[in-house]
Amino acid sequence: MADHDKLNEVWTNILGNSIKFSKDSGMINVSIKQDIKNVTIRISDNGIGISPEDQKRIFERFFKADRSHSAKYGGSGMGLAIVKQIVSLHQGDIRVESEPGGGTTFIITLPIRTPTD
């Protein structure tokens, strides 16, 4: 069970960031794996990446990791804070793996619940 509109906001935000911070010839991969208790969604790009220092703060409100792209494309710095809140409201978890110049992967884990749970 999930709020489909809210989760759509999660996917739209992460995919939008993947597009925004990748080159025109960039690649974005989405994979989904499910086990008995969880579904795990991985969204990866081969874009500019995020520094280790910024990775610690990207889910904070108003934080912008790449100010040069933010100036070019706009944005409030609220997107990933909202994403984290939505994932948390679904009792899920979100984390990031990234390397400057080597792309970024967001890993979202959501519990599987049936209407009888």
Length of the chain: 117
DSSP 8-state class, residue 67: H
Q: What distance in Å separates the CA atoms of residue 12 and residue 28, rounded to the nearest whole number?
A: 13
Cβ neighbours of residue 99 closer than 8 Å, sequence gap 6 or more: 49
Q: Beta-carbon neighbour count of residue 58 at 10 Å?
A: 21
In order of start, what are the domains of the chain with their CATH numbers? 4-111 (3.30.565.10)
Q: Is the pTM of this model over 0.95?
A: no
| Span 25-62, pLDDT tens digits | 899 999 999 999 999 999 999 999 999 998 888 888 76
Closest to 66 in 3D by CA, of 18, 31, 26: 18
